């Protein structure tokens, strides 16, 4: 009887050891370097609508990156909830380097968009940064039939008719929402916010007169609409005038020096992605940053190519999150859903 008892304990102990060993092997395999990476197509998720500035920048980058690493990169637009849906899809993906995120600086806004009762399904700082891609700025544009030609015109009109003038964005807390929301607060005007699933439909409805203004990131499509008179450019959110729109003044020039909102684009992977995968992708981005042809392609969309290491991207995101928290508090703006 006693002998059977010890045999049973030994068996249980062996089972526990084997179970722990299986977990260890599984974990090790999960974190193992991908020696032949990439040996199949990579999915690059853009958490905004197809045709918008983020999507366009991503497709230009994906084409160049694909040539560098010798593998197809499939760009998938996954809009919704101001970028949360697509971002969470990457958060939940297997960390093997085959599902990546093309992010914009809305990553720094996400922490302020949800309440404790409705938390984000991910931690913006919980991804594996790969590297920066480019920088740009927003262009505040108005419907041509409004008779509004400048920021001063907009402020005067909105003060006469509070909540009559509206602005479209890619969603609450997105990069096309906050610049105009913070500007409206700074200018002392009330604008009705109309969220869309992306910047492209918001801009289309601005052209159609469904909403009064919007603030898409610069693209050649935005410039074309301005050049043909479909949209009226009121201001840019850059620190200085965009070389692509030399006749459009910045918000800072028009009396709002603290209203500077640059756009940055960067790539991230799910937490736990092998270091060698991150290193390979970052090395490709570094080489692309000095490629004149690629620089020209991004410039055609109003983007200036940048290069940052993973730690630098992580630091930039943390700094932006902290700065935005102060800015929102000072303006008394609550983005929580």
Phi, psi of 285 (to 5 degrees): -65, -35
Q: What is the pLDDT of residue 300?
A: 87
Alpha-carbon distance 201 to 131, whole Å? 29
Q: Which pLDDT value is given to residue 60?
A: 97
For the chain, domain boundaries? 42-134+263-331, 139-254
Check for a shared fold between 42-134+263-331 and 139-254: yes
> For the chain, which residues score pLDDT lower than 50?
1-31
Q: CA 280, CA 284: separation in Å to the nearest integer?
A: 6
Q: Please give the full DSSP string across 175-219, using - where no structure is assigned.
A: TTTHHHHHHHHHHT---EEEE-SSHHHHHHHHHHTSSSEE-PBP-
Residue partners of 183: CB distance under 8 A and separation at least 6: 140, 251, 256, 259
Q: What's the pLDDT score for residue 10?
A: 43
Listed residue (108, 150, 99, 151) closest to 128, CA to CA = 99
- pLDDT of 3 reads 45
Helix (H, G, I), strand (E, B) or coil at 153: helix
DSSP label at residue 118: S
Please state, in angstroms and rounded to a whole number, the distance separating the CA atoms of residues 32 and 181.
45
- Dist. CA 283–CA 280, nearest whole Å: 5
User: Would you mind telling me the total number of residues written for the chain in this entry?
Assistant: 337
Number of Cβ within 10 Å of residue 149's Cβ equals 13
The rounded distance, in Å, linking the Cα atoms of 81 and 91 is 15
Distance CA 109, CA 74 (A): 26
Domain range 42-134+263-331, its CATH number among 3.40.50.2000, 1.10.275.10, 1.10.150.310, 3.40.190.150: 3.40.190.150
For domain 139-254, give the CATH superfamily: Periplasmic binding protein-like II (3.40.190.10)
| Amino acid 2: pLDDT | 40
Task: Say if CB 230 and CB 166 are below 8 A apart.
Answer: no
- At residue 337, the pLDDT reads 62
Structure tokens at 230: 């479909």
The whole-number pLDDT of residue 11 equals 43
CA distance 197 to 208: 17
Q: In this structure, are residues 141 and 214 in contact, taking their beta carbons and an 8 Å threshold?
A: yes
Mean pLDDT estimate for the chain? 89
Residue 26 confidence (pLDDT): 40
């Amino acid at each position: 009887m006693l002998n059977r008892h010890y045999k049973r304990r030994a068996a249980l102990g062996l089972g526990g050891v084997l179970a722990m060993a299986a977990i260890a092997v599984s974990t090790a395999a999960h974190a193992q370097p991908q020696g032949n990476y990439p040996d199949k197509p990579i999915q690059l998720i853009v958490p905004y609508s197809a045709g918008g500035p983020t999507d366009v920048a991503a497709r230009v980058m994906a084409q160049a990156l694909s040539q560098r690493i010798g593998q197809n990169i499939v760009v998938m637009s996954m809009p919704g909830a101001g970028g949360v849906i697509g971002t969470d899809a990457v958060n939940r993906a297997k960390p093997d380097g085959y599902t990546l995120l093309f992010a914009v600086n809305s990553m720094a806004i996400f922490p302020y968009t949800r309440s404790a009762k409705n938390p984000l399904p991910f931690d913006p700082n919980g991804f594996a940064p790969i590297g920066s891609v480019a920088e740009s700025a927003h262009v505040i544009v108005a419907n041509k039939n409004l008779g509004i030609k400048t920021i001063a015109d907009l402020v005067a009109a909105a003060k006469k008719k509070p909540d009559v003038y509206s602005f479209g964005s890619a969603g609450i807390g997105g990069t096309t929402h906050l610049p105009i929301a913070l500007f409206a607060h700074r200018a002392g005007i009330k604008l009705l916010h109309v969220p869309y699933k992306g910047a492209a439909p918001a801009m289309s409805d601005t052209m159609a007169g469904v909403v009064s203004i919007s603030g898409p990131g610069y693209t050649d499509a935005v410039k074309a609409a301005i050049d043909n008179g479909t949209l009226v450019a009121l201001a840019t959110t850059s620190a200085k005038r965009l070389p692509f729109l030399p006749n459009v003044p910045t918000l800072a020039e028009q009396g709002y020096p603290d209203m500077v909102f640059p756009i940055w684009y960067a790539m991230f992977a799910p937490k736990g992605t092998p270091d060698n995968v991150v290193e390979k992708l970052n090395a490709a981005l570094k080489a692309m940053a000095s490629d004149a042809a690629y620089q020209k392609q991004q410039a055609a969309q109003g983007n200036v190519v940048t290069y940052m290491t993973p730690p630098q991207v992580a630091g930039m995101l943390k700094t932006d999150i902290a700065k935005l928290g102060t800015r929102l508090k000072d303006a008394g703006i609550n983005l929580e859903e």
